[in-house]
Each structure stands twice: as C-alpha cells, then as structure tokens.
C-alpha cells in the first residue's frame, strides 16, 4: 500500500486521544449524598457488563473515526503496492496504452471490454499525480507512435473518449515499445506504462523482449508497468467462424457452389447443435447444425444452386455469442454465366472416338460445365452468325475463306473468343493469310516427333516442358495435376514463327512449350476478344493428350478464359487490418472503395495498373466503384477477420510477472460493471458509519 499524501498519516495519532483521556483524566466526580443510593448501586450492578461492552465499542468506534479519516486523507492506493519502489522514486511520466483489438469488443453483461477499458483509462488518467505528464496510445492495427507526454489532460481525455474498438489485431509488444519510446525524451526519471487490455495471449508475445526506455546515457531501463485487466480476470468462452471455402459443386450441376466453413470453439465446454446459416444476398438459403468439442473445431458444408450467373455476396453465420463480430464470415462468389460455344468440327467421323470434336464435346459438356456447345461441320458453321456465340472453336478446320475470316475477325474484335486447334487439315500458309490478324503467332510447319505407330513412339514423342502456372488457365496445374499434363505425349505439332507475332504482337503470350521450346499453347488479345492457339490436335491423331486426365479441365479452362469468365473474378483475399490490391484492367481513372458500414476506404493507384485499397477496417463485403461512381461487382470483395483475435485464452499472471518483472501488477477491476471505489472512499464510509453508530450508542 502506498500513500499519495503520507504526511497526513500523522493525523492518525489522534487515535491515541481516547486512550490518553482514559489514562490521564483526573477530573474528580462531584460527591453527592443521596438517599436512594441502594437503587443507584443496584442499577450500576445491573448495567455494569453492558456498560463495559458499550464503552469498549465506543472506544473502538472513536478509534476507527480518528484513524480512518487521516488515513483516507493520505489517499492510500492498494493497487500500487507492488510498485512501492517506483513510487518512492517520485512521480513518473506515464503512457496509457488502451487495447483496441477486435477481442476487446467482447460483451460482458452488455458492456464491451473496450468500454470497461476506456473507463479504466479515464481512471488511470485521473489518478495521475499533478506533476506526472502523460500520453495515450490507442493500440490497434496500424498503430502510430504517440506524441510526447504532456500535461494536457483534457486532450488525453478527448482521445480516450473518442477511441473506438477495431476489428483488427493489436500487437501489444509493438504498442508497448512505441509507448516506452515516447517517454524517452521526457526528463522525468520515473517512467510508467499503463497497459489496459483483455490480456488475450495472442496479443502479447512473451518471447519478444519486454519494453525498455533508453536513457540519455544510452542505458536501457525497464519502465514500471501497470496492467489493468479489462476482462475482469476471467477466461471467457467464444466460438468463431475461422475459415470458409467457396467452391463450385460440380456434382450438383452448373452454377452450384458448396460453402465449407470451419467453426472453432475456444471454450472448455463442448457446443452442441450450433445453428449455422448460409445467406445469399441477405436471404437464408441453407441451414445446418454443428457439434464442436471443447477447444476444438468442426467443419460443415452447405450447398446452393444459383439460378443465374453473376456476382453474389453472402455470409455464413453461426448463433451469436458475446463476441458477435467473428460469428459470421462474408464471401463474394462469381457464378459463371452460361457460355454458348460453336464447335466447328474439321474432321467429323461416324466413329465417335475418331471424330475431331469428340473429346472437346465431352470436356465442355461435362457435368457442372457452364458451356452450352453446338457442334457443326465447317461448311454449316461458316454460314452461322458468330455473334450468337460467346466462343468459337476451330478444330482442325481448313482455313476459311476471306468472308468467313473477316466475320471471325470481327467476332473476336467485338469480344468473342476463338480457340484454334491444328491438324492435318490446317495449311499454315492459308491460315497465316486468312487469319493473320487473329493468330497469336503465325504457323510455320508441322513437326513430327514420332509416328504414333512406331514401337518406340512413346519415347520419341514430345512432351510439354514448361507451362505458365502463373496464368489463370494453367494455375490449377500444380502438384499432382501438373504430372497429368506433363505426361501427355505429342507425336506431331505445328511449329510457329517465333518472335514474329500475327496481326499484333502486343498481347501475345506463350503459356506452354514443348521440350524443344516450340510453343504448345499461345494466347493473344485481339480487340476486345481473345484467341487461344493450341499447336496439336484435340483428337488422338497427333497426341494422346485427349485421353489424359488433364485434358478435360484444360479445355474447360480454355473456354472459360476465352469467354472472359476465368479471370473476371479472381479470388480476392482481404484480411482486416491489411491492404488489398485489385487488378482492374480496362478501367479508366481511380476507383473508390466503400466499407460495409458505408465509410470510404483509401485507394492508391500502383504503377502496374493495380489499385491498393485499405487498410481494411472492418469485416464484410466491400464495394468497389469506378470513376463514375458505378459499382463494379466483379471487384467487390469480402474482408475477413484474423482468427487469432477470436481466441480469448489469457496470459497467466505468473507469465506477466515474469515478463514485466515484479513491477507489473494486475488489476482485475470490479467485475467490470461499475467503476470501483478507491480504498480511501471506503475509509470515509467506515468513519461515517462509526460516527453514526457512536451517536446511536451515546443516545442509548
């Protein structure tokens, strides 16, 4: 226990007054001859024991009054008992650090930890001695160093009053370091850090060095650390949606998605029949229940079939608890639109597997594929209006005439997709002549690596050597999936004119090459459309690739890319507290971003044409608008919370003491609901009660 005004304790000597009066009072009672002395004697005998007790109680009450008042005026402080040595050094420059992390949003009986912490910060500010300068650091994501400690209490109080809890992670180690550094310039020898936090273990890394203050001579000293526990010293239960994966549900058909989410239980009690809801555009579309073991996690998958394509926002929610922010996880899903494809079969055959389009039809018509394909031979197809399709596939087709070529070029220029696979019917010269404007690279000649019927054809056949997995088309082909691609054998393939692009070199990209470096897949942008050139056949004439497992997904990726639905919705991973970079090709001017609560987020344009948005301040679906203020659904994204903030596991007191040293102290506070009365107030109450009861006893 320490005292703000220790000299007031001298007043406690007044407690000796009753004793001294008793010992030294030599007043002689007035003698009085009395006739009825027998009754006086009897009365005295009757009341002697009661009077003795009364005198004892009176003496005690008077002593309490005379001790309690001066001790109360001396302003004792129990909570600084562990810091007596520091106090003895005199007043200290103080930095008050208020944890504003997401976990401080936890509600205890209707009061958030943060509100309790705010009150504790006000108390800490009020309890400062008049000659103690101070500053305040609100510790959340993106914390900035506090200003030097000052005596402007009003400004600090405003700062505390206006502080808000964030949805991000607080790095208490960094905040303590910044606070300690802010005190280094202060000439006052005493330094004090007041940390107000829920003391969640994830926020303070005890393996990092504790905060120190560097003195002018370079010596580093550990400041006094006062810890005020906003969580009331208890371990609070919590459960949270910590992960969500949104994937197409191929088995349920096109435009079906499955939402697999993980719910973690951070409490020592298991959770049964926890309700989980899947909401799309604010409507509950699926519901499920989870059982989660204590300190465990459980996964659940809910599915939904979208009736149309487009970009949809939604969320997965679980039954709310005292920390509601992490009871839901938002998402933005891009449901592919239906793709109309015209397959122009250059080598139809009555034998199905010999048909040029057999494998491509099988790939595009697979369950879950958004492609609605139409297959025609070249003669019939060239009479069609290409504009009624999103995608045209030329499969080993003889080079079209000038009119058809012109219509094809116009089709692509206006945004259509063109897939060209080669074969025996393709004459390089004619192709180069008629479709020069479209080809990513001009065709040169057919190279035969091996004849398919040779005994050692497999050994001689060419294989893919390099693929650009960075490109959306090939991005899934990593790991085992890559093996399925690389093991394909190519007996023949068309060589391309290296380095001399077709109609326009700009926008041409070779995504896969054979072992000899010849391009296997080349893509190009032509006008608003795209062209993919595959230099072998899509039947088994030149390659066994069509019977490889990687053929189907690759053909689907080609069609999606050409239809513009592959990269139109890149998965955007945004975590609260971080920034997010968006690619917005073709968008002119600056974009703006709006948070779920309506606030605008800072946006910076990068040299590479991307936009950096953030830091993100809250979870949920963020809308992006173009320079004219129109929403761009394809760029909207869902920000998620860092799951570490959901774990309220606490740092043990002994760990805190070991980390900060004996100077640290916990103050669990008055169960958080009310501001606790300082000890000296209770002394005043005790003195008042003693005074009251003394009066009552005297009247008796």
Partner 1 sequence: MELLNAQTLAKLAGVKLRARAVVDGVLSGLHKSPHQGQSVEFAEHKEYAPGDEIRHLDWKAFGKFDKYYIKRFEHETNLHAVLVIDGSASMGYRTGPLSKLDVAKVLAGALAYLLVRQQDAAGLTIVTGETSRDLPARAAAGHLRLVLDDLESVSPQGTTDLFRAADHLAEKISRRSLVILFSDLFDDREEALKRILQLRARKNDVAVFQILDPAELTFPFDDPTLFLSMEDERQIEVNPREIKQSYLEEIGGFLNSVRASCGEADVDYELVRGDDSLDAVLLRFLARRQERRR
Residues found near partner 1 in the complex (CB under 8 A) = 27-44, 46-47, 51, 54
Residue number, 41 or 688, with CB nearest to partner 1: 41
- The crossing angle, in degrees rounded to 10, of helices 153-162 and 113-126 is 180
Residue number, 47 or 478, with CB nearest to partner 1: 47
Q: Work out how close the CB of 54 gets to partner 1 at its nearest, in angstroms, rounded to a whole number.
A: 8
Q: Work out how close the CB of 48 gets to partner 1 at its nearest, in angstroms, rounded to a whole number.
A: 9
Q: Work out how close the CB of 60 gets to partner 1 at its nearest, in angstroms, rounded to a whole number.
A: 17
Q: Work out how close the CB of 38 gets to partner 1 at its nearest, in angstroms, rounded to a whole number.
A: 6
CA angle 404/406/407 to nearest 5° reads 65
Residue number, 41 or 284, with CB nearest to partner 1: 41
Q: Please state, in angstroms and as integers, the Cα–Cα distance from residue 506 to each residue in 48, 509, 575, 600, 606, following that order.
A: 115, 9, 36, 37, 22
- By C-alpha distance, which of 447, 471, 458 is closest to 523? 471
Q: Work out how close the CB of 44 gets to partner 1 at its nearest, in angstroms, rounded to a whole number.
A: 5
- By C-alpha distance, which of 618, 675, 651, 655 is closest to 117? 675
* Contact assessment for residue 487 and residue 438, using Cβ atoms and an 8 Å cutoff: no
Residue number, 43 or 150, with CB nearest to partner 1: 43
* Contact assessment for residue 529 and residue 416, using Cβ atoms and an 8 Å cutoff: yes
Residue number, 30 or 459, with CB nearest to partner 1: 30
Q: Work out how close the CB of 55 gets to partner 1 at its nearest, in angstroms, rounded to a whole number.
A: 9
DSSP state of 559: H
Residue number, 35 or 154, with CB nearest to partner 1: 35
Residue number, 60 or 657, with CB nearest to partner 1: 60
DSSP state of 398: P
Q: Work out how close the CB of 662 gets to partner 1 at its nearest, in angstroms, rounded to a whole number.
A: 54
Residue number, 47 or 214, with CB nearest to partner 1: 47
Strand 519-526 to 529-534 pairing: antiparallel
Rounded Cα gap, residues 237 and 463, in angstroms? 57
Residue number, 32 or 272, with CB nearest to partner 1: 32
Q: Work out how close the CB of 21 gets to partner 1 at its nearest, in angstroms, rounded to a whole number.
A: 13
Q: Work out how close the CB of 17 gets to partner 1 at its nearest, in angstroms, rounded to a whole number.
A: 19
- Give Cα 42 distance to the centre of its chain: 86
Provide φ and ψ at 552, rounded to 5°: -60, -55
CB-based contacts of 138, cutoff 8 Å, min separation 6? 98, 100, 159, 163
Residue number, 365 or 695, with CB nearest to partner 1: 695
* Contact assessment for residue 443 and residue 428, using Cβ atoms and an 8 Å cutoff: yes
Q: Work out how close the CB of 11 gets to partner 1 at its nearest, in angstroms, rounded to a whole number.
A: 29
Q: Work out how close the CB of 65 gets to partner 1 at its nearest, in angstroms, rounded to a whole number.
A: 21
Residue number, 56 or 600, with CB nearest to partner 1: 56
Q: Work out how close the CB of 24 gets to partner 1 at its nearest, in angstroms, rounded to a whole number.
A: 15
* Contact assessment for residue 330 and residue 361, using Cβ atoms and an 8 Å cutoff: no
Residue 482 CB neighbour total at 10 angstroms = 16
Residue number, 52 or 604, with CB nearest to partner 1: 52
Rounded Cα gap, residues 568 and 584, in angstroms? 9
Rounded Cα gap, residues 526 and 512, in angstroms? 20
CB-based contacts of 481, cutoff 8 Å, min separation 6? 550, 553
Q: Work out how close the CB of 692 gets to partner 1 at its nearest, in angstroms, rounded to a whole number.
A: 20
Rounded Cα gap, residues 391 and 559, in angstroms? 7
Residue number, 41 or 129, with CB nearest to partner 1: 41
- Give Cα 616 distance to the centre of its chain: 9
- By C-alpha distance, which of 170, 176, 169, 175 is closest to 210? 176
Q: Work out how close the CB of 693 gets to partner 1 at its nearest, in angstroms, rounded to a whole number.
A: 17
Provide φ and ψ at 369, rounded to 5°: -80, 135
Q: Please state, in angstroms and as integers, the Cα–Cα distance from residue 12 to each residue in 1, 51, 232, 683, 693, following that order.
A: 16, 27, 34, 13, 20
Question: Cis omega before residue 658 (within 30°)?
Answer: no
Residue number, 20 or 385, with CB nearest to partner 1: 20
CA angle 579/585/591 to nearest 5° reads 50
- Give Cα 49 distance to the centre of its chain: 74
Signed CA dihedral, 434, 440, 445, 448: sign only: negative
């Amino acid at each position: 226990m320490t005292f703000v005004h220790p000299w007031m304790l001298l007043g406690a000597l007044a407690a000796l007054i009753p004793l001294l009066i008793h010992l030294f009072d030599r007043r002689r009672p007035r003698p009085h001859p009395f006739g009825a002395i027998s009754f006086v004697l009897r009365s005295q005998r009757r009341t002697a024991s009661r009077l003795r007790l009364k005198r004892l109680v009176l003496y005690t009450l008077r002593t309490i009054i005379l001790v309690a008042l001066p001790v109360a005026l001396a302003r004792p402080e129990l909570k600084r008992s562990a810091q007596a040595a520091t106090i003895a050094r005199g007043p200290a420059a103080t930095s008050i650090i208020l944890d504003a992390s997401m976990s401080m949003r936890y509600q205890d009986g209707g009061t958030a930890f943060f509100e309790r912490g705010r009150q504790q910060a006000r108390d800490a500010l009020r309890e400062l001695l008049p000659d103690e300068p101070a500053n305040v650091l609100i510790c959340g994501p993106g914390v900035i160093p506090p200003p030097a400690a000052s005596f402007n209490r009003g400004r600090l109080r405003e700062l505390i009053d206006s502080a808000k809890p964030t949805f991000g992670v607080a790095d208490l180690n960094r905040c303590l370091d910044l606070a300690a550094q802010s005190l280094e310039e202060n000439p006052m020898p005493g330094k004090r850090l007041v940390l107000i936090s829920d003391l969640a273990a994830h926020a303070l890394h005890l393996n990092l060095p504790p905060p120190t203050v560097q003195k002018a001579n370079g010596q580093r000293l550990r400041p006094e650390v006062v810890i005020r526990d906003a969580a009331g010293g208890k371990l609070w239960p919590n459960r949270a949606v910590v992960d969500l994966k949104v994937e197409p549900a191929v088995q349920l058909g096109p435009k079906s998605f499955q939402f697999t989410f993980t719910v973690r239980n951070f409490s020592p009690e298991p959770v049964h029949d926890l309700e989980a809801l899947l909401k799309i555009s604010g409507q509950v579309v699926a519901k499920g229940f989870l059982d989660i073991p204590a300190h465990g996690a459980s996964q659940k998958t809910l599915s939904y079939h979208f009736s149309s394509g487009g970009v949809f926002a939604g969320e997965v929610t679980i039954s709310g608890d005292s920390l509601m922010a992490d009871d839901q996880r938002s998402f933005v899903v891009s449901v592919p639109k239906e793709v109309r494809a015209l397959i122009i079969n250059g080598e139809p055959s009555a034998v199905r597997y010999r048909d040029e389009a057999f494998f491509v039809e099988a790939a595009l018509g697979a369950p879950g594929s958004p492609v609605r394909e139409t297959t025609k031979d070249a003669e019939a197809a060239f009479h069609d209006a290409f504009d009624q399709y999103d995608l045209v596939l030329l499969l080993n087709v003889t080079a079209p005439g000038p009119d058809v070529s012109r219509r094809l070029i116009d089709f692509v220029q206006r945004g259509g997709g063109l897939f060209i696979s080669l074969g025996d019917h393709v004459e390089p010269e004619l192709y180069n002549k008629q479709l020069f404007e479209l080809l990513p690279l001009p065709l040169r000649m057919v190279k035969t690596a091996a004849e398919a019927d040779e005994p050692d054809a497999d050994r001689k056949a060419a294989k893919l050597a390099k693929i650009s997995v960075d490109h959306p088309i090939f991005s899934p082909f990593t790991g085992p999936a890559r093996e399925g691609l690389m093991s394909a054998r190519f007996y023949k393939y068309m060589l391309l004119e290296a380095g001399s692009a077709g109609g326009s070199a700009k926008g041409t990209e070779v995504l896969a090459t054979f072992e000899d470096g010849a391009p296997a897949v080349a893509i190009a942008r032509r006008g608003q459309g795209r062209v993919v050139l595959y230099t072998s056949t899509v039947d088994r004439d030149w390659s066994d690739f069509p019977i490889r497992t990687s053929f189907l997904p690759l053909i689907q990726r080609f069609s999606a890319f050409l239809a513009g639905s592959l990269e139109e919705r890149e998965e955007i991973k945004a975590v609260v507290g971080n920034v997010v970079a968006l690619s917005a090709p073709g968008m002119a001017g600056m974009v703006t971003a709006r948070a779920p609560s309506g606030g605008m987020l800072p946006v910076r344009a990068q040299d590479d044409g991307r936009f950096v948005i953030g830091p993100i301040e809250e979870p949920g679906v963020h809308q992006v608008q173009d320079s004219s203020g129109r929403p761009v659904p394809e760029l909207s994204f869902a920000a998620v919370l860092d799951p570490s903030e959901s774990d309220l596991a606490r740092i043990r007191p002994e760990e805190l003491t070991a980390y900060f040293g004996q100077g640290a102290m916990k103050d669990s506070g008055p169960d958080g609901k009310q501001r606790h009365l300082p000890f000296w107030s209770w002394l005043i109450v005790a003195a008042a009660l003693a005074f009251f009861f003394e009066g009552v006893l005297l009247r008796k």
